[in-house]
Structure 1
């Protein structure tokens, strides 16, 4: 085998992910993703992204999307023709776009970065590490993960002795409770805040449906709120208006000023993005320390 051939083989990497293994050759240059959390992670690592979802970027990321970036279809329905024509080196799917993997893998090297909602922090760290390996940015990945671990530890320390909580999601005038398998499960699982509702059945969009009477009866020390309407581009501030009522205002959380409204797009749209999770952790920390 020639030296050139040996070098080519040496540059190949096999990337293991939830839907199998993907072989890449060298460091990818032109990068596509149909997942905003992956865009978030790539941006945190300093990796330029050439193709992004056609949907509006979450507001906390919007300033970082290249004006000339290819729009490669929706979160659920990627534009495979556009992806094929782009002559890109790698394509990332996750969460809503994970089903695209079966088609995309025959077009170009495709990696699924989906993670479990039951272990979000662990999953974000694993994806940052994996992307660091793919792009030769191992030191930067470690720096990011060390900062994330330190932030989680800081929030966990601030939460000690602060009581229990309900994590609410509001959706078109309805209220649900998010639990240990939800989009913001790290509030319970990693930060260690006890749920005021012992057994939560997590619904994908609206959580475990509850009433204002239930919130007062449960009387949590804290309310952390995800405004789904604002997260999906509907009426901003709907959650605050909905929860400003006689029953909720009698709770310990309301009386103590312990209602924290989480960034709706980081919590509902990206969920697994590095800077989004850091933003949400900072919001919880600010609330706990208020």
Structure 2
């Protein structure tokens, strides 16, 4: 049994085996997981979406900002009243909403989507297929996954195998290591070696590896990719000053490092969907 299947409630699948049949209507869904949302869009299931967290919708999903879809709150603060009004058959969430899972389950069936990263393509495929099964569009999912796999393969062939990359998350002036399966697993790029004196810190279930400009200069990747959390969540006054970062690196003797600023909402709020993964692969390849 795959990890994704383990997190799907059996009761949810049983309920939708009756709802989603050729003789009855397809289920409706309120979607907090933006990756699942872009997967549903790619599979032609926009009409089955009833609600989305509009304040955090990335540019590439702006069609869901229309009046046709209800605003169901923030990614970490679901609007239970709005959800009750929408009354979807299914609420799709990720770990960001896990703390509210029991409350959400009193409104509708909940499907939690998590991708753990040990085998990224496997988990991504499982997620896409689980959505396709619920909405009876497996043929579309098979084609979409095959097309995406082909795109990744062709893109990978164009990359310089000697390139080393470092991906960091910026948050209010601080930088931290970001381990990313798009770069390492899907594109096979080498992550630059972090200096041995850099230490990781664990807070609850999460591990953080803070990095200074000096640490990055010492690591000396071919390309430094930035995911700006501050910009992604709307704290624009705390967003990264990219020119200052480049100047600081140059002052440390690391001016040759190419710095690429990735699309903030795509990388911090979204991902793990048919559309978002293709866009992320493209951004990494073009940013090298």
For 2:40 and 2:201, the matched residues in 1 are separated by 29
SS in 1 for 2:224: strand
SS in 1 for 2:45: coil
Give 1:195's aligned residue. 191
How far off its partner does 1:19 sit? 4.9
Rate the CA distance shift 1:105–1:64 in 2: closer, same or farther, 3 A. closer
CA contact 1:155–1:284 (8 Å) conserved in 2: no
Give 1:232's aligned residue. 233
CA contact 2:182–2:281 (8 Å) conserved in 1: no
Match of 2:9 among 20, 45, 54: 20
For 2:251 and 2:150, the matched residues in 1 are separated by 34
For 1:231 and 1:249, the matched residues in 2 are separated by 28
How far off its partner does 1:267 sit? 0.7
Gaps of 5+ in 2: 21-25
For 1:122 and 1:74, the matched residues in 2 are separated by 29
> What TM-score results when the alignment is normalised by the length of structure 2?
0.81
Give 1:55's aligned residue. 55
RMSD over aligned Cα atoms: 2.8
Give 1:285's aligned residue. 285
1:138-175, CA deviations, whole angstroms, 9 ceiling, x for partnerless residues? Answer: 11111211122123223333334232111122221222
Higher helix share: 2
Deviates more, 1:82-91 or 1:209-218: 82-91
SS in 1 for 2:82: helix
Q: 2:268 matched to 1:268?
A: yes
1:16-39, CA deviations, whole angstroms, 9 ceiling, x for partnerless residues? Answer: 451532121232342211222221
Summarize the alignment of residues 25-174 of structure 1 with structure 2, pairs less than 5 Å apart.
Answer: 25-27=18-20, 28-48=26-46, 49-174=49-174
How far off its partner does 1:209 sit? 1.1
Gaps of 5+ in 1: 1-14
For 2:248 and 2:284, the matched residues in 1 are separated by 25
How far off its partner does 1:129 sit? 1.1
CA contact 1:54–1:73 (8 Å) conserved in 2: yes
Deviates more, 1:79-88 or 1:164-173: 79-88
Give 1:217's aligned residue. 218
Rate the CA distance shift 1:239–1:63 in 2: closer, same or farther, 3 A. farther
Larger RCO of the pair (alpha carbons < 8 Å, separation 6+)? 2
SS in 2 for 1:217: helix
How far off its partner does 1:100 sit? 3.1
SS in 1 for 2:226: strand
1:211-239, CA deviations, whole angstroms, 9 ceiling, x for partnerless residues? Answer: 11122222111211112222112228625
Deviates more, 1:185-194 or 1:240-249: 240-249
